[in-house]
Amino acid sequence: MTRVPILNFHSVGDDVLPFDLRHLSTHPKVLEKSLQWLNRHDFTTISLEHLFSHLQEGSPVPDRSLVLAFDDGYLDNWCFVHPLLKKYGHQGFILVTPEFVPNETEVRPTIEDVWQGNLSPENLPKRGYCNWEELRAMHEAGTLKTYSHSMTHTWWPTSSKVVDFHRPNAPWIPGIWNENPIHEKPYWMTESSAEIARKLPWGAPVFENARSQCAPRVFPPALSNHPMVEYVRKHGGEDFFKKPGWKERLLSTQTAPAESVPRESQEDYETRLRFEFGESRRIIEQEIPGHTCSFFAWPGGEWNETAQKIALEFYDATLTTQHHVTISGEDPQLIHRLFFGQRSHELTGLIWPSVWKFTARLLQHGGHSKARIRNWIANRAIGLGKCFLKGNRNYR
């Protein structure tokens, strides 16, 4: 039985993603060493279309095949992943959310400019999202093809139950996206964390919520003039959260009963799903002429039966992050991927454990038994490495 694992990266850079997103980062050196290892061991990266036709129709694939996926459309995929794939003769795909794609048309420098001596590594842009020019360039180069990762990639409230509050040490990022103009979405990572967090007033309630694609949403009153926000404003703003018992005090201000919040009908939920699927595909195909955007990756890897049924009106297949390799005979329209992110930027002087982790995961899911020992050693070394962190190191 041929097994073709999809290894799923997110950010590949030498700068840490802000807030609690460190687990999504991989150091470029880890990717480079992994690509070198693939070449030494005769692995072939195949396209997602190729894998799909293998799963659906049994089209042959090379013996040692894998697929590389990069979620969210981070700018560092352009700066590091694209040049590295080109250098080592590999390919993959990038999952893009159109609302996060900036409008600028400037093509930013990449690590190639550093290799050629035209730029110092400190001057590489690091945070943000790829723009359409860069996505087109990667498509034309054959390094990364663009598929859809929804229109909004957000969470919406599913009830008026308050589960948390937007506060200095726990900013509610989806609230920042949802409550500010859409055109600001691509830039949420490029400002300072403190500035971004202030785009939503302190004390804004975080309601019980779900991924946009997973449930009908409710429409609570606007967060910016919510009574809880008013209460925090009157009682010290940012300092309010330093006082013990702040949570109970804030919760006691809640007056509106849960039933009073308007709820989306099933029909409106399905219309919204069609927007997430259809509009993102339409924009990607409009921006990358000649490209057929036939795959969709679930944000956060979450979906339900209704969403999958509607997604298949627009796409050949959807992609999960369920830790599994889809094989012939299984549903070819629901393709699973293996998450790979090792906080490896923290292992700046110790890249090899993360590379071993990558190779172990690949071998293990490709059906090689010895990979377990390799995985064990990698995990131990990663654990040990965390005790001797040296801070970030620029990649050259």
DSSP state of 262: -
Least separation, in Å, of the C-beta of 133 and Zn ion?
Answer: 22
Stretch 235-274 residues interacting with Zn ion (CB under 5 A): none
Least separation, in Å, of the C-beta of 201 and Zn ion?
Answer: 26
Provide the H-helix boundaries in 89-238: 111-115, 132-141, 173-179, 193-197, 227-234
DSSP H or E run through 26: strand 25-26
Nearest CB to Zn ion, comparing residues 96 and 218: 96
DSSP state of 74: B
Nearest CB to Zn ion, comparing residues 154 and 364: 154
Interaction pattern, residues 305-344, with Zn ion; x per rule: CB under 5 A: ----------------------------------------
C-alpha–C-alpha distance, residues 136 and 129, integer Å: 14
Q: What is the β-pairing status of strands 205-211 and 155-165?
A: antiparallel
Burial (CB count within 10 angstroms: exposed 0-12, middle 13-18, buried 19+), residue 248:
exposed
Least separation, in Å, of the C-beta of 254 and Zn ion?
Answer: 32
C-alpha–C-alpha distance, residues 106 and 137, integer Å: 12
Task: Count residues binding Zn ion (CB under 5 A).
Answer: 3
Interaction pattern, residues 70-109, with Zn ion; x per rule: CB under 5 A: -xx-------------------------------------
Stretch 275-304 residues interacting with Zn ion (CB under 5 A): 299
Nearest CB to Zn ion, comparing residues 94 and 378: 94
Provide the H-helix boundaries in the chain: 28-40, 48-57, 75-76, 82-88, 111-115, 132-141, 173-179, 193-197, 227-234, 246-251, 266-274, 280-287, 305-314, 352-365, 371-385
Nearest CB to Zn ion, comparing residues 9 and 165: 9
Nearest CB to Zn ion, comparing residues 128 and 299: 299
Nearest CB to Zn ion, comparing residues 175 and 353: 175
Determine the interface stretch with Zn ion among 1-9, 68-76, 283-291, 346-354 (rule: CB under 5 A).
Answer: 68-76
**Binding stretches for Zn ion (CB under 5 A):** 71-72, 299
